[in-house]
Amino acid sequence: MSTVTSTPDLQAQCLRQDPRIAAAKSLILQAVEEHQRPLASVRPPRPELEAESKALLDAFGTLRGGALFYPYLSSGLGNGPFVELIDGSVKLDFITGIGVHGYGHSHPDVVAAGIDAAISDTVMQGNLQQDVASLEFCKLLVSLARESGAALEHCFISSSGAMANENALKMAFQKNHPADRTIAFEHCFAGRTLVLSQLTDKAAYRQGLPPTLEVDYLPFFDEADPAGSTDRAVARLKEHLHRYPGRHANLWLEMIQGEGGYHVGDRNFFRALCEVAREHGLAVIVDEVQSFGRTTRPFAFQHFGLDDLVDIVTVGKISQACATLFTPAYQPKPGLISQTFTGSTWSIIAGKAIVEGLVNNGNFGPHGKNVQLHERFAAGLAEIAERRPGTIQGPYGLGGMVVFTAFDGSAEKAKDLTLRFFHAGLMSFMAGANPTRIRFLMPLACTTFDHIDLACQIIDQCIADVAEAE
């Protein structure tokens, strides 16, 4: 008789395959589905919850050292683009934590990922405590990044967009040592660490901070003058390179300026700049923390056809766990990059589910869902603009990033309108300055044309109210 036995399954596999886990998961998903179902349209706050909700918001504002922009504290349950707040109101969330819940609230894929994470051994993944989920997340991002030829073979997970960007900069500086300067676009946003607040082109975000990085700026693409703006940016790049020979480690590209107001660049513009940068040995770094998952391709650098020119790319927000992808040439030396926390186990498992969901559910492609949602929303806004002259300029943006300028484009008007939208049940946020625009980051997995039509109705009504009051 043979004594050979097959290798026994790991205990964790046995746990995951335990029928009680499958039954519990199915019960939890059923319960969530049942309780989220009524959250299917916007609702005003409930008067009986007003006092308690205000007390909680005030307490939180005091504890965190400043009031929240919106009186928004989620109840912890939502339904796709709808979210329930502690005051009993239901909002149509078209800003999604500035792109973070970009797959939708309480989405079953994300809830299921949470259950898988809950039976995993650690809350957090990181330096000495990673499991296969981290490997799978990296594998997915790398395989998508390489789909059309980019040489991005490596992926390092991190806990925030800022950390992914810090890691990107460190890799570029180490490889290109002793270069100590960076080149970036005017009005770019890269995060709020000491270094990134210098790279970010907004004085208020570095007020009172010591200088930590020398940055030379380029003018961004101008759609009204594509060839002229490309020539001007390339000329400026060459001036910087000539003025500080050998001192620039990288060219930093935020290709759809997020915080800057959703200004969209152009393939030829980026290619012209990247080619010059590459000739001078600079790393081409693309910051996709906001744009990842929102264009016609998983990565915006693919949408713009820069596969052959990118060295380092960062992603975040919709991917839940953030990451820095890089080519072998930029592999850091031991000790340069490490983190106790790269992300929570849930964020890493959910990140993979979300990215796979976007790929498998048709969000990408020239006529994919991201484009269709954009076109529907843009058509609705254009219709309002035409019917109410002088109220809306635009819309602008790309894919799952939509923006318009309201009235005179002043910060006061934009703030007033975003608050009006909020109280009427629609969530948006401001972006840029001179003009300050109003932006939308719809949840891409679950937004339907009906949701967009509802958003347009709310926008129309609020704009009519402001126009009437003037």
Ligand X SMILES: Cc1ncc(COP(=O)(O)O)c(C=O)c1O
- Nearest CB to ligand X, comparing residues 163 and 455: 163
Q: What is the contact mask toward ligand X in residues 81 to 120, using x (rule: CB under 6 A)?
A: -----------------x----------------------
CB 321 within 8 A of CB 342: yes
Residues 394-433: x where in contact with ligand X by CB under 6 A, - otherwise, as a string: ----------------------------------------
Q: Which of 76, 72, 91, 1 is nearest to 32 (CA)?
A: 76
The helices-and-strands tally (H runs, E runs) of the chain is: 15, 19
Nearest approach in angstroms of CB 157 to ligand X is 13
258 near ligand X, rule: CB under 6 A: yes
Integer Cα distance of 358 and 372 in angstroms: 14
Residue with token string 């990033």: 401
As measured in angstroms, the least distance from the Cβ of 297 to ligand X is 17
Q: What CA–CA distance (Å, rounded) separates 33 from 265?
A: 40
Among 189, 220, 221, 330, contact with ligand X (rule: CB under 6 A): 189
Tell me how far, at minimum, the Cβ of 437 lies from ligand X, in Å.
15
Least distance in angstroms from the C-beta of 291 to ligand X:
7
Task: Count the Cβ atoms, other than its own, within 10 Å of residue 202.
Answer: 14
Q: Closest separation between CB of residue 124 and ligand X, Å?
A: 16
Of the pair 182, 391, the CB lying nearest ligand X is at 182
Shortest distance, position 178 Cβ to ligand X, whole Å: 26
Position closest to ligand X via CB? 161
- Minimum CB–partner distance for residue 322 and ligand X (Å): 6
Which residues does residue 397 pair with via DSSP β-bridges, in sequence order? 402
Chain positions 129 to 188 lying near ligand X, rule: CB under 6 A, are: 160-162, 165
Q: Which residue has the tokens 């080149």?
A: 183
Q: Taking the complex as a whole, how short is the minimal distance between the CB of residue 110 and ligand X, in angstroms?
A: 18
**Percentages of the chain per state (helix, strand, coil), in multiples of 5:** 45, 20, 40
Q: Is 81 exposed, middle or buried (0-12, 13-18, 19+ CB in 10 A)?
A: buried
Q: Is 347 in the site for ligand X (CB under 6 A)?
A: no
79 binds ligand X (CB under 6 A): no
How far apart are the C-alpha atoms of 312 and 286, rounded to whole Å?
Answer: 6
DSSP code string of 308-341: TT-SEEEE-GGGSSEEEEE-GGGPPPTTSS--S-
- Extract the tokens encoding 251: 């060219």
Q: Scanning residues 306 to 325, which ones bind ligand X (CB under 6 A)?
A: 316
**What character string, x for contact with ligand X (CB under 6 A) and - otherwise, covers 270-289?**
-----------------x-x
* Nearer CB in complex with ligand X: 316/332: 316
For residue 214, the tally of other CB atoms under 10 A from its CB is 12
Q: Does 332 bind ligand X (CB under 6 A)?
A: no
Q: What is the DSSP letter of 131?
A: -
d(CA 147, CA 61): 45
SS3 at position 410: coil
Segment interacting with ligand X, rule: CB under 6 A, options 172-180, 216-224, 254-262, 358-366: 254-262
Which is it for the CA torsion 352, 353, 354, 356, positive or negative?
A: positive
- Minimum Å gap between C-beta 367 and ligand X is 26
Interface pattern 191-220 for ligand X (x via CB under 6 A): x-----------------------------
Please state the closest distance from residue 231 (CB atom) to ligand X, in A.
26
25: left (phi over 0), alpha (psi -120 to 50) or beta: alpha
Residues 173, 168: Cα–Cα separation, whole Å: 9
Count of residues near ligand X by CB under 6 A: 15
Q: Which is nearer to ligand X, 250 or 290 (CB)?
A: 290
Element (H, E) at 418: helix 411-424
260 binds ligand X, rule: CB under 6 A = no
Residue of the chain from 53, 130, 290, 327 that contacts ligand X (CB under 6 A): 290
Closest to ligand X by CB, 42 or 312: 312
Rg (CA), the chain: 23
If one asks whether residue 254 binds ligand X (CB under 6 A), the answer comes out as yes
What's the closest the beta carbon of residue 370 comes to ligand X, in angstroms? Answer: 17
Nearer to ligand X, 165 or 230 (CB): 165
Pick the closer one to ligand X by CB: 80 or 258: 258
Does an H or E element contain 319, and which?
Answer: none
Q: Report the interface residues with ligand X, using CB under 6 A.
A: 98, 160-162, 165, 189-191, 254, 258-259, 287, 289-290, 316
